[in-house]
Amino acid sequence: MASTLLRRWLNPESPRLFNSMSVKLNRREFGKASGLALAATALPALGQSKAAKPSLKTRILKSIKFGMFGEKLPIVEKFKVLQEIGYDGVELNSPGGVNKDEALAASRETSFPIHGVVDSIHWGTRLSSPDKATRRKGLEGLKTAIRDTSKVGGSAVLLVPGAVRDAKNENAEHVWDRSIEQIHLAIPLAAKLCIHILIENVLNGFLYDPKCDNNQTADQLAKYLDEINSPWVGSYFDIGNHQRFGKPAEWIRTRGKRIVKLVVKDWGKSNGFCKIGDGDVDWPDVRTALGEIGFTGWSTAEVGGGKRDRIKEIHARMDKYLLGKS
């Protein structure tokens, strides 16, 4: 229990941390976590110690999308299985998805964190839609996801900000302006509840050119995040999504500290989206880049799921390719 509390206390998404810990822990547990955290702060800071820096395996927490686990079990039993396999936490969907009260109860019973949620309506009810009513519904969906994330003790909402659909009604400029406007309307709630809004790089025709080669950079996404200009908005970097358009490690270096969480997947020119490690992603370079930017935090697999054996395989592949475990 103590190690779990320490991991949660030291989660790098610090604005969220104190609130979730103080709400969810009783006095005895809170004192234990506080003592562990204070002890940890007495250690030399990274880069200031003569000792070797900790490896990625000690700095990155592993998670899975809840819906990937295909066995028909109560939520609490699923959490127990995922915990036994070695996952550090899980990510839900909102609006909708599993009952959040039941999920929170299961999380408390198992000491298994729900680190965040995915905005489940961001594709169909886009913040970039040319229709104002649709944008309003999209904003309300985002706010619901923020509230649900807070309710279950998470730290962030994964958001696809929009999609380029046509040159006249929903082009890249429209997506840029409309999505930023709507995100700004959600930031006060996010700040109040200490929840990050994290932008995922996806195949939406935005902030990259789908017709160009594989030497594209992440400069546009970095500029987009900088224009939003909020400590509550960052990057949920999907390692595999733009493998066909650029080098993931270079995108990591460009985004740097803007990256708060990672989506873990792979893609290959000959086999498309595939099992982690079976595509063209240069995983050693990804690990190097993550070390260079000092990344610490959550990584969540987003690949084809299944029953227990498949979920174990995903965990093993995250260990091997993302963390570099032999």
Domain span including residue 26: 1-46
Token representation of residue 96: 């909708």
Q: Which residues share a beta bridge with 234?
A: 198
Q: Are residues 183 and 34 in the same domain?
A: no
Tell me which amino acid residue 209 is.
Answer: D
- pLDDT higher than threshold 90 for residue 110: yes
Domain count, the chain: 2
- pLDDT higher than threshold 80 for residue 88: yes
Residue pLDDT, tens place only, 156-174: 999 999 999 999 999 999 9
CA distance 286 to 289: 5
Q: Are residues 41 and 65 in the same domain?
A: no
Residue pLDDT, tens place only, 206-248: 999 888 878 899 999 999 999 999 999 999 999 999 899 999 9
Nearest to 320 by CA among 25, 57, 28: 57
Q: Are residues 26 and 117 in the same domain?
A: no
130 vs 47, which has greater pLDDT? 130
State the pLDDT at residue 232: 98
State the pLDDT at residue 58: 66
Q: Are residues 91 and 219 in the same domain?
A: yes
Neighbouring CB atoms inside 10 A of 284's CB total 11
Q: What is the mean pLDDT of residues 64-72?
A: 97
